[in-house]
């Protein structure tokens, strides 16, 4: 560097005046060209000048479901691109209303749960977009695909079903499925026969509101032409001339957006919506690459509704951004992120240590600092103390058996377990000694790198645990390694949210996801429920009561019996503390902008649950919203 400078200095005197005069002119010219180039780029088109594309007043923009370029719209495809699982194109039999707990009709106009079966009656007006009626054969065919192809999402339901049968009005069976259909002469009556060895109407109801029904007359020949080879079938993209039943059709897609266009011949307009059409002609899902981009677009009114995480949403209110509530917790929460403990690995397999952790964690900090306050205050146990689950929640049990933030009780619990914390002179935790007097290995809390809300939750939990004398540390791992560790049980503590979506089977499915011992295998092999390997059925301490309650609850129909069963199960959970619930979270976020469309559902106008259009019942808002006139 000094050398350069000295060279520079020596040259200063050599410069010639002619050079100095010539160069500025050239430089000015070049700069002018540069500026002109930049200026050219800045030709702002006026908003209403567009003669091609989607006009703003007819287009509803939604965001947050799609994060990359869609590769296929195959309804049996592997990548599960959201738009094809949304009921804009294919439709489900029923739609679950998470506000009232009722099922709303869609393809099925009514349903009834019997002791050994669930019966549905299809809407007589329901038609595929090629004019064919939607029949009970379509329903049985769709479900039976899962019997044939074990890798399909619908396959697991078959452990709870014996058969799905189609019946005509006269009670005729489904033997004559090949008969051509004409007029009203087709079966509309579907019977789901339950497997009584594993009787569980709840999971069947879950499937009825989750599984899109496919057109048998379109899918079957395509599969047959490929020798019934599912892998070959999955290569079809289903991106044009698709036989479907929903109110919209795929219009175009690219790496930047997906657009669907209204199908004015949609059967449900007459049958379900009193002759009205959905208001927006187009629905467009722009594909942005980060949460922030969706937030910015929402703020600028480029998006009308989004299902992404928007931090500090109250700051965006003056830009017209709204959420379900206009004050804390802003969103309707329905899931419980928690720390799963590994019951096959010391020391977290010790209930004293787990309860000490549960007493140690500052849940208020987690709620306020890690999740922007988007959560109700945490109550102990696995039952949400609000909403539809409230009727199964017992405040009395929670007070008596539950763990809350209380560092003194955490320390007492550690002492009861024979643990001794050794702090250094500066108050830093040096080590935790176990009941045998030896220092415990550090307890690592695994969480995926880059999931910033989980990272903050874990940091707060670790800090709280260290403060009472538990030697815990964060361990953030690559996402795919995280899932591997989760299923194979390679963790001390790990972040996880069990069974998140509001559905008819809540809160049972949350308990089941954490406590069931079905398919129990030791760590090292994969387990997709109860990843913490709680309640080993081969161990001496096995509690058969838990599995018995899990099997019993879905079969109960009496609310009192359900309440007492749920209470017993929740008390067991609180006493044994197999896992440590941390905070409540929405299953899906729901924010909207009031700039271009009005009458979107919110707590003040709760005619539909907080879901974006296309997502289950959220679709129905398309018939009720109105463009904002400027």
Partner 1 sequence: MLSNHPTLEHIFRRAGWYFVTFLVAITINFFLPRLGDANPVDTILAKVSAGLDSASAKAKEEAYLKEFNLVELDATGNVKRDARGKPVRTSLGRQFINYLGMSVRLDLGSSILQHPKRVSEIIKTALPWTLALQLPTIVFGWLLGNLLGALAAYKRGVFDRVLYPLALLASAIPAFCFGMLLVYVLGIRLEWFPAVGGYDDGLTPEVSWAFFQSASYYYVLPFLSVFLIVVGGQAIGMRSMCIYELGSDYVKYAKLLGIKERQILFYMFRNAMLPQLTGLALALGTMTSGALITEMIFSYPGLGMAVLTAIQGSDYPLITGCTLLVTICVLIANFSVDVLIGFLDPRIRAAQLGK
- Kindly tell me which of 44 and 327 has the beta carbon lying closer to partner 1: 44
Beta strands in 478-578 (DSSP E): 493-496
Selection from 151, 126, 149, 130 nearest residue 139 by Cα = 126
Are the CB atoms for 157 and 207 separated by under 8 Å?
A: yes
Q: What residues contact 89, with CB distance under 8 A and at least 6 apart?
A: 73, 83, 242, 244, 246, 248, 249, 250, 260
**Residue spans of alpha helices (H) in 79-182:** 82-85, 136-148
Q: Alpha-carbon distance 376 to 324, whole Å?
A: 14
82: which DSSP letter?
Answer: H
Q: Which of 286, 320, 387, 417 binds partner 1 (CB under 8 A)?
A: 286
Least distance from partner 1 to the Cβ atom of residue 34, Å: 6
Least distance from partner 1 to the Cβ atom of residue 158, Å: 9
Q: Which of 405, 529, 555, 567 binds partner 1 (CB under 8 A)?
A: 529
Q: Which of 297, 356, 360, 383 binds partner 1 (CB under 8 A)?
A: 297
Q: Which of 148, 391, 526, 545 binds partner 1 (CB under 8 A)?
A: 526
Task: Kindly report the backbone phi and psi dihedral angles of residue 545, in degrees, each rounded to the nearest multiple of 5, phi listed first.
Answer: -60, -35
- Kindly tell me which of 51 and 240 has the beta carbon lying closer to partner 1: 51
Query: Does residue 318 bind partner 1 (CB under 8 A)?
Result: no
List beta partners, residue 619: none
Task: Kindly report the backbone phi and psi dihedral angles of residue 149, in degrees, each rounded to the nearest multiple of 5, phi listed first.
Answer: -110, 105
131: which DSSP letter?
Answer: S
Give the pairing type, strands 59-63 and 189-194: unpaired
Q: What residues contact 590, with CB distance under 8 A and at least 6 apart?
A: 305, 307, 323, 324, 331, 332, 610, 611, 612
Site string for partner 1, 333-362 (x = CB under 8 A): ------------------------------
- Kindly tell me which of 41 and 541 has the beta carbon lying closer to partner 1: 41
Query: Does residue 452 bind partner 1 (CB under 8 A)?
Result: no
Least distance from partner 1 to the Cβ atom of residue 11, Å: 4
Q: Which of 218, 296, 467, 571 binds partner 1 (CB under 8 A)?
A: 296
Selection from 469, 471, 457 nearest residue 362 by Cα = 457
Least distance from partner 1 to the Cβ atom of residue 545, Å: 22
Positions 6 through 65 that interact with partner 1 (CB under 8 A): 7-8, 10-12, 14-16, 18-20, 23-24, 27, 30, 34, 37-38, 40-45, 49-56, 59, 61
Q: What residues contact 387, with CB distance under 8 A and at least 6 apart?
A: 98, 332, 334
- Kindly tell me which of 41 and 112 has the beta carbon lying closer to partner 1: 41
- Kindly tell me which of 182 and 538 has the beta carbon lying closer to partner 1: 538
Selection from 282, 153, 271, 151 nearest residue 214 by Cα = 153
Are the CB atoms for 331 and 589 separated by under 8 Å?
A: yes
Query: Does residue 302 bind partner 1 (CB under 8 A)?
Result: yes
Q: Alpha-carbon distance 261 to 283, whole Å?
A: 7
- Kindly tell me which of 117 and 302 has the beta carbon lying closer to partner 1: 302
Task: Kindly report the backbone phi and psi dihedral angles of residue 114, in degrees, each rounded to the nearest multiple of 5, phi listed first.
Answer: -110, 180
Q: Which of 183, 227, 425, 524 binds partner 1 (CB under 8 A)?
A: 524
Query: Does residue 259 bind partner 1 (CB under 8 A)?
Result: yes
Q: Alpha-carbon distance 382 to 573, whole Å?
A: 8
Query: Does residue 100 bind partner 1 (CB under 8 A)?
Result: no
Query: Does residue 229 bind partner 1 (CB under 8 A)?
Result: no
Binding piece for partner 1, criterion CB under 8 A, among 293-301, 429-437, 465-473, 571-579: 293-301
Positions 231 through 250 that interact with partner 1 (CB under 8 A): 231, 234-235, 237
Please state whether the peptide bond connecting residue 255 to the residue before it is cis, i.e. omega within 30 degrees of 0: no
How many binding residues for partner 1 (CB under 8 A)?
94
Q: Alpha-carbon distance 18 to 8, whole Å?
A: 19
- Kindly tell me which of 53 and 418 has the beta carbon lying closer to partner 1: 53
Selection from 91, 69, 66 nearest residue 263 by Cα = 91
Could you write out the DSSP letters of every residue in 175-199?
TTTTSPP-TT-S--EEEEEE-GGG-
Positions 54 through 73 that interact with partner 1 (CB under 8 A): 54-56, 59, 61, 68-69, 71-72
Q: Which of 100, 110, 300, 452 binds partner 1 (CB under 8 A)?
A: 300
Site string for partner 1, 154-173 (x = CB under 8 A): -xx--x--------------
Least distance from partner 1 to the Cβ atom of residue 480, Å: 4
Least distance from partner 1 to the Cβ atom of residue 532, Å: 14
What is the rounded (10 degree) CA torsion for 426, 431, 435, 440? 170
- Kindly tell me which of 286 and 320 has the beta carbon lying closer to partner 1: 286
Least distance from partner 1 to the Cβ atom of residue 4, Å: 6
Could you write out the DSSP letters of every residue in 218-281?
HHHHHHHHTTT-HHHHTT----SS----SSEEEEEE-SSEEEEEE-TT-HHHHHHHTTPPPS-S
Least distance from partner 1 to the Cβ atom of residue 544, Å: 20
Positions 459 through 518 that interact with partner 1 (CB under 8 A): 478-484, 486-487, 498-499, 509, 513, 518
Site string for partner 1, 359-398 (x = CB under 8 A): ----------------------------------------
Binding piece for partner 1, criterion CB under 8 A, among 98-106, 226-234, 238-246, 595-603: 226-234
């Amino acid at each position: 560097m000094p050398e350069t400078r000295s060279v520079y200095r020596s040259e200063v005197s050599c410069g010639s005046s002619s050079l100095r005069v010539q160069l500025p002119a050239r430089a000015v010219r070049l700069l002018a060209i540069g500026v002109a180039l930049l200026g050219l780029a800045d030709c702002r088109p006026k908003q209403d000048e567009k003669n091609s594309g989607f006009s703003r007043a007819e287009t509803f923009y939604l965001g947050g479901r799609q994060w990359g370029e869609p590769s296929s719209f195959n309804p049996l495809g592997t990548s599960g691109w959201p738009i094809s699982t949304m009921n804009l194109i294919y439709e489900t039999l029923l739609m679950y209303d998470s506000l009232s707990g009722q099922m709303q009709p869609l393809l099925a106009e009514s349903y009834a749960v019997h002791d050994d079966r669930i019966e549905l009656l299809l809407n007589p007006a329901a038609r595929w977009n090629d004019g064919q009626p939607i029949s009970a054969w379509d329903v049985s065919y769709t479900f039976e695909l899962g019997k044939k192809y074990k890798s399909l999402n619908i396959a697991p339901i078959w452990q709870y079903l014996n058969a799905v049968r189609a019946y005509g009005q006269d009670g005729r069976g489904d033997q004559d499925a090949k008969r051509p259909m004409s007029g009203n002469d087709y079966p509309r009556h579907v019977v789901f026969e339950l497997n009584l060895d594993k009787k569980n109407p709840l999971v069947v109801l879950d499937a009825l509101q989750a599984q899109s029904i496919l057109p048998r007359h379109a899918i079957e020949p395509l599969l047959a032409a490929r020798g019934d080879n599912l892998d070959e079938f999955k290569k079809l993209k289903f991106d044009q001339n698709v036989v479907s039943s929903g109110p919209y059709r795929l219009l175009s897609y690219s790496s930047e957006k997906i657009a669907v266009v209204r199908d004015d011949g949609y059967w449900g307009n007459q049958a379900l919506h009193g002759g009205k059409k959905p208001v927006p002609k187009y629905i467009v899902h722009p594909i942005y690459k980060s949460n922030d981009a969706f937030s910015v677009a929402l703020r600028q009114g480029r998006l009308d509704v989004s299902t992404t995480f928007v931090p500090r949403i109250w700051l965006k209110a003056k830009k017209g951004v709204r959420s379900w509530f206009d004050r804390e917790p802003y969103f309707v929460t329905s899931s419980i992120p928690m720390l799963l403990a590994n019951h096959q690995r010391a020391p977290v397999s010790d209930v004293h240590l787990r309860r000490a952790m549960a007493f140690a964690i500052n849940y208020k900090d987690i709620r306020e600092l890690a999740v922007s306050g988007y959560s109700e205050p945490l109550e102990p146990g696995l039952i949400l103390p609000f909403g539809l689950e409230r009727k199964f929640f017992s405040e009395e049990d929670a007070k008596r058996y539950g763990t809350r933030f209380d560092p003194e009780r955490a320390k007492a619990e550690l002492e009861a377990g024979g643990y001794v914390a050794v702090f250094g002179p500066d108050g830093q935790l040096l080590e935790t000694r176990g009941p045998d007097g030896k220092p415990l290995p550090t307890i690592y809390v695994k969480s995926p790198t880059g999931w910033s809300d989980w990272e903050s939750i874990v940091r707060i939990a670790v800090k709280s645990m260290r403060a009472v004398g538990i030697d815990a540390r964060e361990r953030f791992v690559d996402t795919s390694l995280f899932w591997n560790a989760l299923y194979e049980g390679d963790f001390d503590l790990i972040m996880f949210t069990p069974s998140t979506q509001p559905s008819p089977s809540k809160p049972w499915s949350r308990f089941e996801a954490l406590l069931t011992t079905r398919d129990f295998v030791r760590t090292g092999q994969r387990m997709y429920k109860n990843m913490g390997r709680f309640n080993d059925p081969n161990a001496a301490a096995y509690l058969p009561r838990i599995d018995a309650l899990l099997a019993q609850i879905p079969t109960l129909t009496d609310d009192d019996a359900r309440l007492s069963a749920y209470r017993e199960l929740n008390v067991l959970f609180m006493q044994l503390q197999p896992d440590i619930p941390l905070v409540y979270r929405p299953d899906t976020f729901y924010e909207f902008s009031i700039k271009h469309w009005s009458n979107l559902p919110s707590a003040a106008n709760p005619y539909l649950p907080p879901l974006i259009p296309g997502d289950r019942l959220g679709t129905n808002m398309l018939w009720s919203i109105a463009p904002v006139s400027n």
